[in-house]
Amino acid sequence: MEADPRDIAVCADCGWPVRTPLQEASRHTVAEGTVVYTRCACGRVRVWLEPCGGGAPRLLVGADSVSYAPRTECHAGP
């Protein structure tokens, strides 16, 4: 089942919005763009790729811990 486009990706453990991590741990430039390590409010680590030339960041590690919730029910984030 596909998520409703009005929904927001949240951590399956704590409900924190995935796109607004509590902490950015580090950034590393690679050929495809920038790899960003982030930490959720519950402590879960996720790894993102921010592509060169723009485009939406892509979640590389930690996607199995993401669920979707209606924006109105989601934690507000930082």
CA nearest neighbour of 48 among 27, 74, 75, 69: 27
* pTM reported for the whole predicted model: 0.70
pLDDT at 2 over 70: no
**Model confidence over 5-47: pLDDT tens digits?**
567 888 888 888 888 888 999 999 999 999 999 998 888 888 9
CA nearest neighbour of 35 among 52, 21, 47, 20: 47
Q: State the Cα–Cα distance between residues 8 and 73, nearest whole angstrom.
A: 10
- Residue 44's CB is within 10 A of a number of other CB atoms, namely 19
Q: What average pLDDT score do residues 44-57 get?
A: 86
What pLDDT is recorded for position 60?
80
- Residue 39's CB is within 10 A of a number of other CB atoms, namely 14
